[in-house]
Every structure is written in C-alpha cells, then in structure tokens.
Amino acid sequence: MSIKPLKVGLIGSGAISYTYLNTLTSGFAAVEVVGCSDLIPERSKARAELFGIRQMTTEEILADPEIELVVNTTQLWNHHHVTKAALEAGKHVYSEKAMDHTWEGAKENYELAKKKGLLLGAAPDCYMGSAWQTARKLVDDGYIGQPLIAYSMCMRGYSSHERGPLPEGFVLDPMMGARGTTITYDMGGYYINVLINLFGAVKRVSGYSQVFTGDREYYNTKNPNYGKKIPAEGGENVMLGALEFENGVYASLVLCSEAFSPEVPRVDIYGTEGHLSLPDPNYFGGWGNDVIILQRKGNGTESFKVPFTHGFSDTDPSIMPKSGKGEPCHNSWRGIAVVDMAYAIRRGRKPRSSAELALHTVEIIDAIDRSNEDNRVHTMISRPERPAPLKPGYYGSVNVMEASLDT
C-alpha cells in the first residue's frame, strides 16, 4: 500500500546526525528529509550538501508547516528545550537518547506531547535491529522456555580511552558530568530497551548508584591528557539496578565507566529450557563478531550460533555510507524508529518507540538513583506496551525491510 512520505527536519547536525541522515535518506518510502539545522552553520551546511537536503535554521524548521516531525540530535543537555520547542510548534518529535536527563523534564515533555496529540519517541532504537528481533522471536517462540532472570551489563573504563577530553556531545567524560550526563543516562537506554523489547514493562525497581571520585588519572599514553588527574566531580558513574518486570522476570542492570575494563557489553537471558547470550545492545546486530548463542537442554547441553531472522543489521549491504570515510556507525540503522513513527502516523497505529517507552527508560535510571537515596523499592509510574515485533524474513533492499515495519 502506498504511503504519503512524512516530512522531517533534523536539529543538531553533529556527529550522530550523519548516521540518521544516512538512514533516513536511504530510500524509505515513508520519510522525506527536508532539511537540517545547527547552531554552528558550517555543520548543517556540510550535512545538507552531503545528503542533498536544505540547510535551515532551527527557527525555519519549527516554522515550516510542511515539516511534521523533528529529529532532535542535539546533545543530551539540549534535548529538553529543543523537544519542547518542537512540540509547541506542533511537530512530532524523535529525540536522541535519553529523552531527558531528569525524570521531571521527561515527564513534562511527555505530558505536553499527550496534550497536543503528538508522537514523542526517543532513541535507542537498536532493539528493532536484526539481532534483537531474532532474540525476541526466540524468546516468544519458547526456545528458552520460561525466561526467569537476565543481566544487562555495560562496563567501560573511560580513563583508559585514547580520546579525551571527549568531544562535546559525546557525553562520556566524568569531567563533564552533572547528574544525568554520564554513563547512566548516556548508555542505560540501550541496555534497558532491549530488555523491554524482550519482556515488556518494568514493575518495580531498586538499586545502588554512586559518583565514584577516587584517585583516577588518564593512563592511556595516546590520550592527550595522559598522566593528568581526572577531577573528582561528575554524575553517577557506578550503578547497579534490580528490575522486576511485569511478566515476572528479574534483571540486573550494571552500568559502570570507572572500572579497569575494555568495553564489555553483555546481555544474557536465562530460561527454564535454555540460555541466550546476546550481542552488544549499542548495535543492531552483526557488528564485529557479535552473534547470538543459544544453549538448550538436549542430550546434555546443545549450543547453537543462531542466524538472524530479521533485516536491519549493522552489516547490511543495502545501506551505503554516503561519505565513505570513518563517520560513526555508518552502516547502522539509527533512525528506523522515525520510519516506524511515520507508519504509525499515516496508518493510525501505535509507534514502537512510544513516548511511554522513552519515559520508562528515564524513569528506571531515575528510580535506581532514588532507591539509592531513600532505601526504598520504587513502583514504576510509566507503563509502556511492549513494542510490537517486526515481521521476520524481510531481508534485502531498503524497501523490502521497510515492509517489515508496515504493520
């Protein structure tokens, strides 16, 4: 069935805008990018020229009656006011993660979107990728029996990074961090959204978090700050959450940027009949050697490397990088939730990356912090529906994969 393309304007033409524009201009029938803006005009000019769209100001995007949806790829601390301005201008919004760096701010924009009858979604949308939709199918089809317990773990050692101080917007550096600008809000969403995709909403949350300000220094000799002390300030950078899902599954969420560790992303799901070892939730699937390993009860333990059942993988050859040089994640599908929102708007159905999901993700991080402060278990207020699965078996061209969203 044909579809009238949803006209999109992008605000914030920095690093990750490349990946979004690469996705959204790759031939989807449901979206048409009109233009992009940035406070630094050279940035929006470069993106506009590369992707054949208009260089605009933020004010022009908000005032353009043709633009129905704004993609907000500004830095985390700008998400709130840019999203609010776009909602007030009557635009649907899809924001980079997190939707906000406070529960209160997220709730305010959530209410505003509801009041105005507009869709509001937020990254990450990696859960819509091949690995995570395959995992979803395995769980839903009973391959691990009844899921009981899971862990989702992001270990990073920022002091060992080559980069630094990290570029503005790459909100990783404890030096930059007020509450909400460190690993918890920056990376938590990836590790939470994949669990919600598998199990649905979270019911109760408790946990611990701290701002580790121990004696740290940059110890990677390639880092320009090598040998310098990392200032003892910042937001939460060590967090352990206990999540109880409405379907009864328990999960532990570990987010830490201060240990000695090469990046160790892990998501494991244990069920009554089997165990799933899943790849890095920062990707859609297929990056590096990331695979899904399924271990099942058999004659002893049987172990399988599971082929992906769905399209939208990181290594899919049908999306070609426009610049051919080392742009971030050039083959990833960040932004397909925007295409999904276009279908939701045009077909009158619910979006997968809903405002409730975006709010829930922020509430979980916030609830862990609160639990740490008040020694209480928090009953979640937001209750998103589990995002609908994509249809399996749709590989190949952009439009073939797009059909798996058209439900």
Per CB under 6 A, 15 contacts ligand NAD:
yes
Greatest Cα pair distance, the chain, in angstroms, is 65
Strand pairing of 147-155 and 120-122?
unpaired
Q: Least distance to ligand NAD from the beta carbon of 42, Å? A: 10
Point out which span in 27-35, 76-84, 316-324, 346-354 binds ligand NAD (CB under 6 A): 76-84
Interaction between residue 241 and ligand NAD (CB under 6 A):
no
Q: CA angle, 114 as apex, 108 and 117 as ends, to 5°?
A: 140
Query: Which token pair is 278?
Result: 């899943």
The residues, ordered by sequence, that sit 6+ positions from 224 with a Cβ below 8 Å of its Cβ are: 164
Amino acid in position 356: E
**Best CA proximity match to 354, nearest among 13, 122, 196, 34:** 122
Exactly one of 25, 58, 109, 152 binds ligand NAD (CB under 6 A); that residue is 58
Euclidean distance between CA atoms 318 and 331, whole angstroms? 9
SS3 (DSSP) at 287? coil
**Residue 400 near ligand NAD by CB under 6 A:** no
**By CB under 6 A, what part of segment 179-198 binds ligand NAD?**
186
The answer to whether 361 touches 122, Cβ cutoff 8 Å, is yes
Shorter beta-carbon distance to ligand NAD: residue 84 or 275? 84
Q: Would you say 108 and 85 are in contact if contact means Cβ atoms under 8 Å apart?
A: no
Q: Are 134 and 285 in contact (CB under 8 A)?
A: yes
Instruction: Residue 24: name the closest of 336, 342, 403 by CA.
Output: 336
Unique residue bearing structure tokens 């509430």: 363
Closer to ligand NAD by Cβ: residue 58 or 309: 58
Size of residue set near ligand NAD by CB under 6 A: 27
Closest-approach residue to ligand NAD (CB): 14
- CB of residue 125 vs ligand NAD: minimum separation in angstroms? 11
For ligand NAD, give the closer residue by CB, 182 or 313: 182
Whether residue 122 contacts residue 96, with contact meaning beta carbons closer than 8 Å, is answered with yes
Token code pair at residue 291: 């695979």
| 75 interacts with ligand NAD by CB under 6 A | yes
Nearer to ligand NAD, 168 or 217 (CB): 168
Quick one: 16 or 278, whose CB is closer to ligand NAD? 16
Residue 343's identity, in one-letter code, is Y
- Pick between residue 73 and residue 184 the one whose CB is nearest to ligand NAD: 73
Q: Which of residues 94-123 bind ligand NAD (CB under 6 A)?
A: 96-97
Asked if 251 interacts with ligand NAD (CB under 6 A), we say no
Q: C-beta of 355: minimal distance to ligand NAD in Å?
A: 17
Instruction: Give 274-309 as a DSSP string.
Output: EEEEE--TTSSS-STT--EEEEEEESEEEEEEEPP-
Residue 31 dihedral angles phi and psi, to the nearest 5°: -135, 150
**Which residue, 239 or 294, is less far from ligand NAD as judged by CB?**
239
Q: Minimum distance between the CB of residue 399 and ligand NAD, rounded to whole angstroms? A: 25
Compute the least distance from the CB of residue 15 to ligand NAD, in Å. 4
Among 8, 11, 46, 194, binds ligand NAD (CB under 6 A): 11
Q: Which of residues 152-181 bind ligand NAD (CB under 6 A)?
A: 168-171
Q: Which residues bind ligand NAD (CB under 6 A)?
A: 11-17, 37-40, 43, 58, 73-76, 78, 82, 96-97, 168-171, 186, 328
